[in-house]
Structure formats: structure tokens, C-alpha cells
Structure 1
Amino acid sequence: MNTKRLVIVGCGKLAEIVADALINGILPDYQLVGVLSRTKEKAEAIANKIEKADSDYTCQVCSSLDELLALKPDYLVESASPAALRELALPALKNGTSLVVLSIGALANRAFYQDVEQTARENSQRVHIVSGATGGFDVLRTASLMGKTRVSFDTEKGPNSLKGTSVYDEALQTEKRKVFEGNAQEAIALFPTKVNVAVAASLASVGPEDIQVSVTSTPDFVGDDHRIEVRNEQVHAVIDVYSQTAQIAGWSVVNTLRNISLPIVF
């Protein structure tokens, strides 16, 4: 078996899901050889977990991107931030490392998207955009190939998840309100870490400038509810996914890694 060398950037709860999948045999074709995180303790926790499960296992805790890429990984899982993706994407691809990406918001920038696309092509690598907390990318891509298509992406969140953004005020704790309407490019500029899935849906369909995005704040709402509607002359589809926590995003990384290695792909 040709084991694929895997590294992770960003060692929070989503990375832990990937590590657990490796330990539990769900990703038998991969070996986690290195981790990098803004918080070194979190990276060490994942490396220790992996090595404790298998005494023959070595997972290096890296202090820089250069050190991580020197491990010559086949795949890099990014679960950090759009800023981190902007920093690591081109060097990783040039290194001969394909990407599995969660912080898709960075790709809403057309120039960066084109640079990533060209660099991946020139180095015979691929960028795998995971579905995260939503789905239906196959329907979105297929419908958009059929001709003129309209796509909308509506998100419902609790007000506490909007703290630290310009749309938040205390009245949202008791008042349901639509706090944003625009396209995905505008949305990711306002919410850099909170609407990556809207950008992903736009890239799978009509593009960040042409998808209609709205964000609604609902008092006491827990989790996220993402509703995508796609419509053309022949197709009308609605994808509605509620998730209480962000765990589904971590599992979507696991599913993407499985699809890379399995002979039959869903």
C-alpha cells in the first residue's frame, strides 16, 4: 500500500476529528507526519495523541511552514484561517503538496484564486475544497453547467456568533434581524471566518460576485442553518443543512481524504 504523507495546519477541534479518524482506521492510506498551529500546545496535543495510539508513529510538531513542507507531504489539510491559507497555498503547491481546504473564503479574491489555480496546474497538484457545514456541490456544479442559473445562500445564526463583527449590537439578543444581504465577496469581507461555506457554494456554481447571500440573526439560536437554492429553466433544488456544532466540517475533511484514496468515489 502506498501510504500518503499528511500534514495539518491549524490544530483545533476540526483537526482533532481528522486525527481521531486516523487513529480509528478510517483513513488507513494516510500517515500524519507533521502538524503546525499558532498555538504550539494544540499541535503537541495532536502529535501526542497520534504517537500514543501507535508507538512506531512519529508526528513532528513544526514551528514554521518551511519546516512543515520540508517533510515532503503529499497532502496538507488547512483548518486554520483564510489568512493562513493565503500564506501557505502557493508554497505548498510549489512543494508538490496538494491541499485540502476549509478556509475557502480566501478564494473569493479573484486574483488569489487564479494564482492558486495556475500554481496547482503548473506543479501537477490539486486543491480540494471540502463541503464543510453544507453540501450539494455536485448539484450546484451540474446545474451551473446547464445554462443560466441563479443561486442564493441564506444563513441563520445566533447573535453570539456575530460578536466582534460590525453588524452586532445588543438588540440582536432579543430581536430577529437580517444583518446582511449581498454577494459572497462582500460577505467574506464582513465576516472573514463565518461564511466560508457561502464562498464554497459560490465557487461550485455562479461565482462569488453573482451568488445572493443573506445572514439572519435569531435570538437563542444554536448552531448554523445554511439554505442553498439553485434554479434554472430545468432544475430547482434546495439544500438545507442545520448543524448544532462545527463538527460536520471536520468530518467533511475526513470524507474528502477518503475520496482521494478510494477506488469508488461518492
Structure 2
Amino acid sequence: MADSRKVAVAGLGSIGLRVAAALDQGIEGLELTAVSARDAGSAAARLATFRNIPELLPLAALPDAADIVVECLPPSAFAVLGGAMLKHDGKTFVVASVGQLLIIEGFLDQARAAGLRILAPSGAVAGIDGLRAAREIGLEAVTLKTRKPPGSFGEAVASDGGMLATETIDAPVRVFSGSARQSIAAFPRNINVAATVALAGLGADATSVEIWADPGIGTNIHELTIRSKGGTLRVASENLPDAGNPKSSAITAYSIIAALRRMDGFLSVGS
């Protein structure tokens, strides 16, 4: 373990706990050293079964305790950790709340100037490798259409300038149409995939997004259409909602875990 890089996980919700548990079980070249959580008592209970219990620290202290900080926070808490990361050059910042990279004005420029390395896993959307390749040959249009069960938006969702009770939705309703940047501002907890697609492709303002509340489905469906000088690529992802956080997809935590495993793997495919 002497040559292992230290990892801290910010947030012990459904996603963060899975990531922390995978690190505790063992990821080559990485060692879980610290975590942060809002409720210390609950965190202690969740960590009690770990083989090596990490130190519980405030958010702002995580960059001092690790080489790699994995963010698994509600969007509202991102700024505290992000601000702390900007004070530590040479660190790697693995981000689940990808939308905040676009919402917080100037953050990416500051991170570049600070010498941070930012890693945004693909999360719940497939086709990011193809999108990156299409950008090299020449992108022409990128469209993301997301459909989710109404309940994943909470008790109500904005629609036609008002709020619509999700329990009353009995047919598919388009609740948003616009740019990726606009979608992230309107649905910061539901559409991180739009930010991932935007950052890998045409950017936040040139990426088109539709969001639908669909009572006829039980999964989160992301349909990505990429048009470039190399042709057209269409990719559909159909993900089960996370049991602990239905606003996210169950696969999101495992996308982060897979990204961490690739960091020191001798073979990297599609990245």
C-alpha cells in the first residue's frame, strides 16, 4: 500500500457509499483514507462494516487528506468542495455532479489555472467514446432526449410555466426543451448526463436536450443522437433508477468505480 494513491469520497449517500465500499474492498493502486458526510452518526454506522474505516472529515478538509477526491454530493454542496479543490494543485477531482462544472461560472478556467485534473465519468449515458471520436472528425449536431418516470422528479415538476403534480401525470409530458446549459439550470439533480454530453461534444449551448416525464416506463432512458462528418450515431441507455436515490440511475456509482479502476490498470479500453 506504500505506493497507493490516497482517495477521499465526498458524500455517503447511495452513490458515495457504493464508491467508498468498492475502494474498501480493493481497487488496485488506490487507498480509501477519508470521507465526508452531513450526519456523522449515520456515517459511522454505514462505515462500521468496512475493513479499514476511513477518517471522517469536513468537506473542505478532504483535499488535504487525499490525492484523488471523488465528489458524490447534492448539487447544493458542490461549491464548498469545489472551492477547496481549487486551492490544491496537482490533485485529481472525480465529479459526479457534472452539471456544476457548467453552472458555476468560471470554475473550469479556475481549475485549469490551479493545476487540477478533473475526471467526469460517463455516468448513466452510453456513447461518450463515440461522441469524442465524432468531435475529432467534425461534429454537426448533438441531441439528448431523456425520459424518466414522473416520480423521479419528486412530487411536482415544472411544465408550461407552472408546477405539475407528478402523481397526476398519466401520459408522456415534455417538461423541457432547450440547451444543455438551460436543462442543467432547470433540473440540477436530474440531468447531469446533459453536462457530460456537452463537455464531450459541442458544448453547453450547442447541445440540444429534451426531458420527458413518462408514466409508461420504469427506467431512466437516455437517447443520444450524434451527427458528424463521419456519419450518424444513435445510442440508447435504459437504466434502472437507483434504489436509494431515484433521481439518479443505478449504474451511476458503478461508472465512477469503473473510472477509478482504469486509473492504474495496464489496459484501458474506450477511454
Query: TM-score band, normalised by the shorter chain?
Result: 0.7 to 0.9
Alpha-carbon separation, structure 2, partners of 1:45 and 1:131:
30
Alpha-carbon separation, structure 1, partners of 2:189 and 2:5:
29
How many angstroms does 1:3 deviate by?
0.8
Q: How does 1:108-147 map to 2 (within 5 A)?
A: 108-109=102-103, 111-112=105-106, 115-119=107-111, 121-147=112-138
Query: What one-letter code is carried by the residue in structure 1 that aligns with 2:80?
Result: E
Query: What one-letter code is carried by the residue in structure 1 that aligns with 2:227?
Result: R
Secondary structure, counterpart of 2:218 in structure 1? coil
How many angstroms does 1:172 deviate by?
4.8
Check the 8 A contact 2:157/2:165 in 1, yes or no.
no
Alpha-carbon separation, structure 2, partners of 1:116 and 1:179:
29
How many angstroms does 1:110 deviate by?
7.1
Check the 8 A contact 2:139/2:201 in 1, yes or no.
no
Match of residue 209, structure 1, among 205, 208, 215: 205
Structure 2 equivalent of residue 24 of structure 1: 25
Answering whether residue 165 of structure 2 is matched by residue 169 of structure 1, we say: yes
Alpha-carbon separation, structure 2, partners of 1:58 and 1:161:
33
Q: 1:172 to 1:195 in 2, by over 3 A?
A: farther
Answering whether residue 94 of structure 2 is matched by residue 100 of structure 1, we say: yes
Secondary structure, counterpart of 2:158 in structure 1? coil
Structure 2 equivalent of residue 88 of structure 1: 81
Answering whether residue 54 of structure 2 is matched by residue 59 of structure 1, we say: yes
Alpha-carbon separation, structure 2, partners of 1:99 and 1:251:
17
How many angstroms does 1:234 deviate by?
2.0
How many angstroms does 1:83 deviate by?
2.7
Give the TM-score normalised by the residue count of structure 1: 0.88
Aligned residues: 255
Name the one with the larger helix percent: 1
Unaligned 5+ segments in structure 1 are none
Q: 1:41 to 1:70 in 2, by over 3 A?
A: same
Unaligned 5+ segments in structure 2 are 242-248
Q: 1:148 to 1:33 in 2, by over 3 A?
A: closer
Over the matched positions of the two proteins, sequence identity in percent amounts to 26
Match of residue 263, structure 2, among 240, 260, 263: 260
How many angstroms does 1:69 deviate by?
3.1
Answering whether residue 183 of structure 2 is matched by residue 192 of structure 1, we say: no
Query: What one-letter code is carried by the residue in structure 2 that aligns with 1:147?
Result: G
| C-alpha RMSD of matched pairs (Å) | 2.0
Structure 1 equivalent of residue 246 of structure 2: none
How many angstroms does 1:175 deviate by?
1.8
Residues 198-223 of structure 1 deviation map (CA, whole Å, 9 limit, x = unaligned): 11111100011111100111114222
Alpha-carbon separation, structure 2, partners of 1:215 and 1:172:
18
Check the 8 A contact 1:93/1:99 in 2, yes or no.
no
Deviates more, 1:151-160 or 1:166-175: 166-175
Residues 66-91 of structure 1 deviation map (CA, whole Å, 9 limit, x = unaligned): 333332x0111101122322221242
Structure 2 equivalent of residue 158 of structure 1: 149
Give the TM-score normalised by the residue count of structure 2: 0.86
Name the one with the larger strand percent: 2
Secondary structure, counterpart of 1:250 in structure 2? helix
Deviates more, 1:250-259 or 1:85-94: 85-94
Alpha-carbon separation, structure 2, partners of 1:220 and 1:40:
39
Q: 1:30 to 1:84 in 2, by over 3 A?
A: same
